Amino acid sequence: MLKEKLQQDIKDALKSGDGKKRMLLGMVLAAIKNKEIEKRGELSDDDVIAVVASEIKKRRDSTEQYEKGGRPELAEGERKEAEILMAYMPEQMSEEDVRNEVKKTITETGIKDVKEIGKLIGAVMAKVKGKADGQLVSRLVKEELSK
């Protein structure tokens, strides 16, 4: 369903003359197609969301690198692309909601040792998949375990 929305939005961007959006969505569809080839089958909406999230992360990382390199105009372009792609993501959880989910998962799993941080992050990410940034989850897990 999300893949079809992306395809329709490419057509709409083409009709409206929005070449940048068409190219961006085309790259995302190509990434989805590559994942389908790798998986040897159609992707579920969750898988498509994961691909879109990966593309957003790439844009955010590029933004950071361009800013460090003193190229604000390129950073702004990457930031705009990430914003366009965010429209295809489920509504993001607030930091407080993610923190509550982390606390709940700590209680459920009984993990309190920093040595098992990977397991805890994995458990939280499974619950908030696509609705929260991995860096945010990682930071909040570290904060909660260090209390």
Residue 68, domain CATH: 1.10.1510.10
Supply the DSSP symbol for 70. T
Angle at 21 between CA 18 and CA 22, to 5 degrees: 80
Instruction: Give the global pTM.
Output: 0.77
**Looking at the predicted structure, is the pLDDT value of residue 130 above 80?**
no
What contacts 114, CB < 8 A, 6 or more positions away?
142, 145, 146
**Looking at the predicted structure, is the pLDDT value of residue 70 above 80?**
yes
Q: What are the tens digits of pLDDT across the range 27-43?
A: 999 999 999 999 999 99
Q: Are residues 80 and 117 in the same domain?
A: no
Q: Are residues 16 and 40 in the same domain?
A: yes
Q: Are residues 123 and 67 in the same domain?
A: no
Q: How many structural domains does the chain have? A: 2
pLDDT over 70, % of the chain: 100
Query: Quick one: how far is CA 132 from the chain centroid?
Result: 8
First to last CA, the chain: 42
Q: Are residues 67 and 131 in the same domain?
A: no
Supply the DSSP symbol for 91. P
User: 114 is in which domain, residue-wise?
Assistant: 95-145
**Cα–Cα dist 100/88, whole Å:** 25
Supply the DSSP symbol for 94. P
**Cα–Cα dist 117/128, whole Å:** 16
Q: Are residues 101 and 119 in the same domain?
A: yes
Beta carbons of 99 and 142 less than 8 angstroms apart: no
Q: Are residues 7 and 27 in the same domain?
A: yes
Q: What are the tens digits of pLDDT across the range 71-109?
A: 999 999 999 999 999 999 988 899 999 999 999 999 999
